[in-house]
Amino acid sequence: MKKIVLLFFIIMCSSCSVKYGLLLGGQKEEYTETLEARTFSFGSPQTINYPQYQNSTNGYHVGISEESEYLLTKITYFSNSYGDKKYEVAGKSYDTSLKESGVNATIAWKVWWFQPFIGVKKFSSNYVVNGETTKDSYNTLDLGVDFEVPLKEDLFIYAGYATSKRTNFGFIGGASVTQSIKHDALKFGLRWNFVSLK
């Protein structure tokens, strides 16, 4: 992940005729986790689908940008803190909460006011289940589109949608397990170009 962010930073610093900016905004984040277990008993596979876990929160992001004639590159820090939620499975109830933060690096193609983008997103997460904390760190591919409108020459307001998904495969006992973690975000904010190099 550090190499990818460094690559984005090199791209930002090596371009010509560009504007550098600051951005600040918020996001409505939806977190969805699914778990499926497949067991093999006497040659007959059985699939167990656990109840889907969903949570949502309002978070924030802050970062820097580089704008050229056709491209817009952003590197941002983000933070999400989800509220407490009960999760029920097999007749048992669990108290859960989740906090996550990380770095998001994207590059967008400017099409009028639309900016379809691709990037990478690094999550550092703290899960709490019945008072016990588990830490996790992972990277995902980030896809989406922003809609950005100029308020004046170097000040913009933007809104957009982004999605990312992580899928894990493993084994617990004699069962194969597939876990999927999906993030969907509606984001908004302001971007200000503070310097121009030509």
Q: What is the pLDDT of residues 144-154, one digit of tens each?
A: 999 999 999 99
Do the Cβ atoms of 26 and 76 come closer than 8 Å?
A: no
Structural domain boundaries enclosing 42: 2-197
What residues contact residue 58 under an 8 Å CB cut-off, 6+ apart? Answer: 26, 27, 28, 29
| pLDDT above 90: residue 73 | yes
Do the Cβ atoms of 130 and 88 come closer than 8 Å?
A: no
C-alpha to C-alpha distances, 30 to 38, 103, 112, 157, 182, nearest whole angstrom: 27, 17, 28, 22, 8
Between residues 120 and 2, which one has the greater pLDDT? 120
Q: What is the pLDDT of residues 159-176, one digit of tens each?
A: 999 999 999 888 777 778
| Secondary element (H or E) of residue 101 | strand 92-109
- pLDDT for 17 equals 63
Query: Alpha-carbon distance 106 to 72, whole Å?
Result: 8
Q: What is the pLDDT of residues 16-47, one digit of tens each?
A: 568 999 999 999 999 999 998 888 766 677 77
Confidence of residue 1 (pLDDT cuts 50, 70, 90): low
- pLDDT for 15 equals 53
Do the Cβ atoms of 18 and 184 come closer than 8 Å?
A: no
pTM over 0.95? The answer is no
Neighbours of 119 (CB within 10 A): 22
What three-state secondary structure class fits 198?
A: coil
- pLDDT for 140 equals 96
Domain CATH code at residue 192 = 2.40.160.20
Query: Alpha-carbon distance 126 to 137, whole Å?
Result: 9
Report the relative pairing of strands 114-129 and 92-109 from DSSP bridges. Answer: antiparallel
Q: Residue type at 14?
A: S
| pLDDT above 60: residue 9 | no
Please give the tally of structural domains in the chain. Answer: 1
